[in-house]
Amino acid sequence: MRLTIYFLLLLLPLVIVSLYVNFRSQAILLKEAEERTRGALTSSMDYIDLSLQSVEELSTLVSTDDRMLKLIDDVGPKLNAQSYVNFADLLKQLSGLTSVNHLISHVSLFHAPSHMLLSTTQGGKRIESTQQRQELNEIAETKGTGIVYMTPDYPFPEGQTLGSVAGTDSVSLVRTMDLNNSDRAPNLLLISLNKARLLDLIRSLLPSSSARIDLYTDEGKLVTTTGDQDKELMSISTAQPGEFMVRVTSRYSQWSLVLVQPKAELYKETNVTRLFTYIIIAVSVVLAILISWGVYSGIASPIQRLMRGMKSVGSGNFSIRLEEDRVDELGYLTHSFNRMVEEQQDLIKNYYEQKLRFAHTELKFLQSQINPHFLYNTLDSIYWTAKNYDADEITEMVLNLSSFFRLSLGKGKETFTVEETITHLHYYIRVQQIRFMDSFTVRYELQEETRHIPLLKLVLQPLVENAIVHGLEACHEGELIVASFLQGDHLVLEIRDNGKGIPAERLCYIRSELERLSASESGPFSYLEHGAKDLYGLRNVHSRIRIWYGSGAEMTIESRQGSGTTAALLLPLDRCQDEYKPNTTITTAQQGVDTH
C-alpha cells in the first residue's frame, strides 16, 4: 500500500500539470476565438453602420425634397382625382429608393390630412381607426426632426402593431416630412429595412450551425437573428451556462451584434485532448498500481521474506529455509541465503563436535603426560639395578631411553630447535642401534642456517622409526641419514635410508592416503574417526604439521624397491615459530604420537 502511494505521489505533479495545461489551453482558445469573433462582428457592424448612414441620408433627402413636399401639400383632407395622381407620383419617386440602396425593403408615407398610408409594395390605404391615427400623429410630434428605428412589433391601439398597420415585418426608420418647416403637418416617412439582406450579411459570420447571431437596435429590440426570433436584449446581457457570447456595439447607431455559440463546439478538439488526458491519467494510475504490485511481489515481498528469514536466523532458528521459485538475482540471493543458513548450521554443528573432540584430545594429552613420568621413574630404577650388576648394554639402552622420555616431556614446550630435536632424536636412534646390534649407522647433515629454527617436537621420530623398522631391519650395512636445509621459503627435513625400499603398489597406496587426508573436510585427524587401520605414524605426522604449519606444509615419500626410501617434510619458514599460530582453515586439532 505504501509503495502504491509513493507511485501515485510521483504521478500527482504530472496529473496537475496535465490538467492545468488542458484548462489553460481552453482559456487561450476561448480568448483567441473571442478576439477573432469580435473582429469579424466589428467589421460587419461597421458595414451596417455605413448602410444605416446611407438610409438616413436618403431619408433626409426625401423629407426635404421640395417637389415631393409640394405634391404632399397639394393633397387636402378630401381626396380627388388630382390627389390620386399626386399619390401615384409620390410612390413612383419613393420606389426609386429601393434601387438606390439595396438595404431598403420598401418605403411608406403617412399623409396625416387625408389619413392615407402610401406603401411602395401595398399601394395606398386609409387608416380608419382614430386611435391609430392619433398614435401616428404622436410619433410625428414627439420625434420631431429626429430619426427613430421602430420594430414591427411596436404596439398600436386596438391590438395592432406597427408591422400590421404599415405592412412590414422588419425594422423601419421613422421620421417626419418637411424638416425645415416648423409648421409642418404630422406626415411620417417610414423606410423599412430589408430583413433578408441583413440576415444574409450576418449569416456569413456564423462559425457553425449551432451558433446564432442577433442584431439589436439601440433600445435592445431584436432586428433580426439567425436563430429563434423571440429574443429580447435581456437574453444577451449575460451568457447562459455552457454558451460562449461576444457582443459588439456600434459607436454610431448603438446597434448591437451578438454571437452566441455553445462552448462545446469551441472545446470540441480540446475536449478530445482532455478525454485523452483523463484516459492517460487513469491508465497511469492503473499502471502505477500494477507496477507497485509488481515491484512489491517481485522485489519488496521477497526482500521482506528474506528479512524475516534473517531475523529468524538471528534468533537461533537455523532450520528455516526460504522458498526458491525464482531464477533472477533475488532467486540467487534466496538460494545463497538458504545455502548460508545450511552452512552455518553445519559449522555450528562441527564447532560443537570439534569442541567435544578437543576436550577428548586434551584428556588424552593429560593422560599421555602421566605415562612418560611413570616410564621415566621406572627406567631410572632399572638403570641403577643394571649398573649394580655391570650390564653395560642394558645400562646404556635404559639411559638413552630415559633421556629420550625426559626430553619428550620438555616441560610443556611444543617446539625445540632443529639442533635440539636431533639431539633428542639421537637418544632414540641409539636405543635402536643397540637393539639391532649396530647393524646400521647414522649420519646427520644439518645446514648451519637451520640449526636454530624452531621445530615441532616428535615429528621426526615416527619417520626415523619407519626407516629403521621397515627399511633397515634386515640390512647388515645400513645407513640412516638425517638432513636439514633451506629450500626457498621452506625448511626441508629429510630421513633417508638405503634399505629395501617400498613396493610401487604400496607406495601408490601411501601417497593416495596422504592426499585423501589433505583433502578431507573433517579436519587433519579425521582418520581417527574413520577407523584408519595402518600408516598411523605417517598420518599422525602429516596431521600435526598441517595443524601447526598450515596448508603450506607438505610431506613427501620417495622410494624405489631395493634402493632405499626418502621421507621429506617441507615446512613454511614463516610458520616456524616457538608458539602455535592457529591455521585459518583448521579450528581444532587432535594431537597424539603413535609410531606404529
**Does residue 6 belong to any structural domain of this protein?**
no
Q: Which residues pair with 485 in a beta bridge?
A: 492
pLDDT band at residue 487 using 50, 70 and 90 as cut-offs: very high
The amino acid present at 219, given as its one-letter code, is E
Least confident range of 118-127, 243-252, 263-272: 263-272
**If you ran DSSP here, which 8-state letter would residue 472 be given?**
I
What grid cell was written down for 483?
638432513
Average pLDDT over residues 340-358: 78
pLDDT at 571: 93
pLDDT greater than 80 at residue 90: yes
Average pLDDT over residues 228-254: 71
Which residues span the domain enclosing 185? 64-194
**Does residue 347 belong to any structural domain of this protein?**
no
Please tell me whether residue 445 adopts helix, strand or coil conformation. strand
Last residue in a domain, options 194, 215, 249: 194
Provide φ and ψ at 568, rounded to 5°: -125, 140
Q: Which CATH number fits the domain that encloses residue 592?
A: 3.30.565.10
Average pLDDT over residues 296-310: 78
**How far lies 342's CA from each of 316, 318, 339, 536, 588, in Å?**
13, 7, 5, 34, 21
Radius of gyration in angstroms for the set of CA atoms belonging to the chain, rounded to a whole number: 66
pLDDT greater than 70 at residue 231: no
pLDDT greater than 60 at residue 234: no
Give which of 494, 493, 489 is closest to 552, Cα–Cα. Answer: 489
Q: 479: part of which helix (H) or strand (E)?
A: strand 478-487
Average pLDDT in the chain: 80
pLDDT at 100: 84
**Does residue 8 belong to any structural domain of this protein?**
no
Half-sphere exposure of 347 (CA within 13 A, CB side): 10
**Does residue 31 belong to any structural domain of this protein?**
no
Is residue 14 within 8 A of residue 284, CB to CB? The reply is yes
Number of domains in the chain: 2
pLDDT greater than 80 at residue 366: no
How big is the CA angle at 310 (ends 308 and 316), to the nearest 5 degrees? Answer: 110
**Does residue 268 belong to any structural domain of this protein?**
no
**How far lies 203's CA from each of 39, 243, 391, 514, in Å?**
15, 19, 154, 113
pLDDT greater than 50 at residue 327: yes
3-state SS of the chain: helix, strand, coil percent to 5? 55, 15, 30
**If you ran DSSP here, which 8-state letter would residue 221 be given?**
-
Top pLDDT among 488 and 210 is at: 488
Cα(153)–Cα(160) distance, integer angstroms: 9
Last residue in a domain, options 172, 194, 216: 194
pLDDT at 233: 40
Is residue 424 within 8 A of residue 404, CB to CB? The reply is yes
**If you ran DSSP here, which 8-state letter would residue 259 be given?**
E
Cα(69)–Cα(90) distance, integer angstroms: 9
Last residue in a domain, options 176, 194, 212: 194
pLDDT greater than 50 at residue 585: no
Is residue 418 within 8 A of residue 447, CB to CB? The reply is no
Top pLDDT among 8 and 237 is at: 8
Least confident range of 144-158, 199-213, 352-366: 352-366
Average pLDDT over residues 129-138: 89
**Does residue 346 belong to any structural domain of this protein?**
no
Q: Which CATH number fits the domain that encloses residue 156?
A: 3.30.450
**Does residue 232 belong to any structural domain of this protein?**
no
Average pLDDT over residues 3-9: 72
Does this model's pTM top 0.75?
no
**Does residue 310 belong to any structural domain of this protein?**
no
3-state SS, 136-182, equals HHHHHHHHCCCCEEECCCCEECCCEEHHHHHCCCCCEEEEECCCCCC
pLDDT at 409: 56
Average pLDDT over residues 233-262: 78
pLDDT at 262: 86
Average pLDDT over residues 222-241: 65
Top pLDDT among 277 and 367 is at: 277
- Burial (0-12, 13-18, 19+ Cβ within 10 Å), 443: exposed
Average pLDDT over residues 254-264: 87
Of all residues in the chain, what percent carry a pLDDT higher than 90? 13
Q: For residue range 52-88, what is the model confidence (pLDDT) as tens digits?
A: 899 989 989 988 888 988 888 888 888 888 888 888 9
